[in-house]
Amino acid sequence: MKFTCLSKGGGFHFPPCHMLNVSGFRVLFDCPLDLSALTIFAPIPTDSRTIGDEESSDFAIRESVDTEAGVRKRQKIEKPIDANCLIYAQPWYKTVNNLHLWNVSFIDVVLISSPMGMLGLPYLTRNKDFSAKIYVTEAAARLGQLMMEDLVSMHMEYRQFYGPEESSVPQWMKSEEFELLPSALRKMVLGKDGTELGGWMPLYSAAHLKDCMTKVKKLRYAEETCYNGTLVIKAISSGLEIGACNWMINSPKRNIAYVSGSIFDSGHAMDFDYHALQGSDMIIYSDFSTLLTTEDNEQSTSSDDNNNWEELTKSLSNNDESSEEREKLAFICSCAIDSVKSGGSVLIPIDQIGVLLQLLEQISIFLKSSGLEIPIYIISSVAEELLAYTNIIPEWLCKQRQEKLFSGESLFAHVELIKEKKIHVFPAVHSPKLLINWQEPCVVFCPHWSLRLGPAVHLLRRWCRDPNSLLVLEDETDADIALLPFKPMSMKLGNALVKLQKVKPLLKTLQPKSVLFPEDLGNRVSFTNINSFSVSHYSENETLRIPSLKESSELEIATDLASQLHWSNLKQRNLNITRLKGELLIDQGKHRLLSGNEQDGSSQNKPILHWGSPDPENLLAALSKMGINGHVEQSMTDAESDEACIVHVQDPNKALIEVTATGTIISAADEDLASRIFEAIVNVLEGI
């Protein structure tokens, strides 16, 4: 088995990407986009200037930048980064660069772990050489599709401003242009080692997206599917997001569990089903987000006793994560109430669907308890469809949400809030109905968290200089670069959620035989006192070879075939052996031998199979018992004498037996003598 980490990702919105070669098949885990890299581009201007004025202004800015760049080149001085350093062009999108180094025709299976993990999938499916099977849960497929449709819709604003995409490489990707960028932006474009430029691609079209979704096979949690009769694949809930999952792969040589970002006690999605991962031969741990919290988690268990099941289970089932999540939600809501009380508005460009749904509930509760009649707006091209979908999928939600269904309540509060007209949903900021309904102060949920696309850009420009307004950012957002086009900022800032992880107690509970663990986490989590499994560390863009855990595969034999078996004992190896005839099938990851269409006869009618070379001394003894006399002549070189010799037969007639490593040759004029010598050789050799 071979394992390659193509990208360690960058958090919730940019999950890791891996390639696994198991049982001769290449399996790709996730195909994300690094949307945080969009911050190198300038957003579309929203002021009153015309496009022509803006173009002339941009030209003046670039002329100034070019002049300053020449001075900086000569003086080797780094210019302070500001909004003028951003790229004024239609953005391209950063894919997993190392994935482009692989021939897509060799990929057999693609497993998608979350809606965010499929945002780059159309880049693969539009390739004519791509033929892999794509597996994703039903909920993740639908949510991922909506996210991609919204991304394509928001990108259209750029196209309307800059015109059609350039057919060739855009100006900003030319090497001389990189000299104009500050080092921080240049690193985002080229990567640490300066090799990631090839990962930038123009955004796919709506047609590419539609074609991509037709090639996706949708699964439910715990539903088994079999690829090519060999790999049995199953999705297990991870709790990270609605429809997000971990993967179980059963192959003839090992059972593999792929563990992505997971939450044990989620406030919206079905909880992490870690029990389903027990019994795995190998666990691939891929969640790099634990870098933020693993130091505290080392104290999560007081014992290194691997068999202390009760203690380990208790440490996993506590409510640390849900309480942390609730506290953070309450903090954001209290900040929002303070802002609207002082006359400011609240902008929440959060794309984590679960967080958004919970914030909608909590903020409405806080507003009601404060006696405030403040409108809540949701602005997105897919908002209406998204909110409707999240209220008809109880099987993908946590137990608390499912209980609401049984009691006749809505799964999420936004259904009732929309009916009461406390929440208003609009497809765009320029929607006529929104302009008529608009009131301030207000609370607005909208895309995009990069602050380069969609309604967030327009609303942030409106409120960025209002000290009473509040902007809630995703934790992954680099605020310094993201806010460059909106400075000077007077707006207050808040952050979204940080999720806890429990790495060590999880792995101790699952008790695998071996674990693949990120090298970056190796110094943060110690397994020195754990003897139940081996740990191998992997790093980005390096291939790790893992030996098979089984020397052979199991074979299931049909009953009618098994009844025909006639066993022989191999004396030299102390092994029982038999021969049979049937049809070999590989199905559901298991080897099966079935009766063929032609029924084979009894073992007595089968020609005997022999192997090995006869021992000369044993052969002479067998010949002597049959009245045949001879002697051994070593005619080979000393180096070959142990493997080959010649036996001369004098009586009753002359014959020659040549024994070599590859065969035994009988030379005799008397056919009857040759047959008797053959019988003697058969008696010396083992056969069935």
Q: What burial class does residue 371 get, using C-beta atoms within 10 Å of its C-beta: 0-12 exposed, 13-18 middle, 19+ buried? A: exposed
pLDDT in tens, 423-433: 999 999 999 99
- Confidence check: pLDDT of 291 > 60: no
Q: Residue 633: what pLDDT?
A: 78
Return the closest-CA partner of residue 347 out of 258, 265, 447, 252: 447
Q: Residue 627: what pLDDT?
A: 81
Number of CB atoms found within 10 A of residue 138's CB: 18
Q: Residue 234: what pLDDT?
A: 96
Query: Does residue 110 sit in helix, strand or coil?
Result: strand
427 versus 686: the higher-pLDDT residue is: 427
Q: Is the peptide bond before 652 cis (omega within 30 degrees of 0)?
A: yes
Percentage of residues in the chain having pLDDT higher than 90 = 45
Q: Residue 55: what pLDDT?
A: 41
Residues in the chain: 688
DSSP states along 566-577: --EEETTTTEEE
Q: Residue 77: what pLDDT?
A: 60
- How sure is the predictor about 318, in pLDDT bands with cuts at 50, 70 and 90? low
Structural domains for the chain: 46-87+169-201 (no CATH), 321-495 (3.40.50.10890), 555-602 (no CATH), 610-687 (no CATH)
Mean pLDDT of 576-589: 72
Contact between residue 536 and residue 513 where contact means Cβ atoms under 8 Å apart: no
Mean pLDDT of 6-14: 90
- How sure is the predictor about 629, in pLDDT bands with cuts at 50, 70 and 90? confident
DSSP states along 29-66: E-----GGGGGGBPPPP-SS--HHHHHHHHHHHHHHHH
Distances (CA, A) of 3 to 196, 258, 538: 21, 12, 8
Rounded Cα distance, 482 and 498, in Å: 19
Phi, psi dihedrals of residue 440, rounded to the nearest 5°:
-130, 145
- Confidence check: pLDDT of 603 > 60: no
Mean pLDDT of 302-313: 49
526 versus 225: the higher-pLDDT residue is: 225
- Confidence check: pLDDT of 323 > 90: no
Chain mean pLDDT for the chain? 82
pLDDT in tens, 234-248: 999 999 999 999 999
Sequence-distant (6+) residues with CB within 8 A of 642 are: none
Q: What burial class does residue 183 get, using C-beta atoms within 10 Å of its C-beta: 0-12 exposed, 13-18 middle, 19+ buried? A: exposed
Least confident piece of the model among 149-158, 202-211, 310-319: 310-319
CA atoms within 13 A on the CB side of 673: 19
Q: Which residue is listed with tokens 């040589």? A: 253
* Predicted model pTM: 0.80
Q: Residue 390: what pLDDT?
A: 94
Return the closest-CA partner of residue 497 out of 333, 296, 369: 333
Q: Residue 507: what pLDDT?
A: 81
- Confidence check: pLDDT of 416 > 60: yes
Mean pLDDT of 92-97: 95
Least confident piece of the model among 215-229, 321-335, 544-558: 544-558
Q: Residue 484: what pLDDT?
A: 93
pLDDT in tens, 261-276: 888 888 899 999 999 9
Least confident piece of the model among 210-224, 307-321, 639-653: 307-321
Mean pLDDT of 380-409: 92
- Confidence check: pLDDT of 229 > 60: yes
Rounded Cα distance, 98 and 108, in Å: 17
Rounded Cα distance, 103 and 19, in Å: 12
pLDDT in tens, 652-678: 888 888 888 777 888 888 888 888 888
Percentage of residues in the chain having pLDDT higher than 70 = 81
Contact between residue 337 and residue 370 where contact means Cβ atoms under 8 Å apart: yes
- Confidence check: pLDDT of 310 > 60: no
Q: Which of 449-458, 552-561, 655-664 is the most confident on average?
A: 449-458
Mean pLDDT of 510-529: 78
Q: Residue 174: what pLDDT?
A: 81
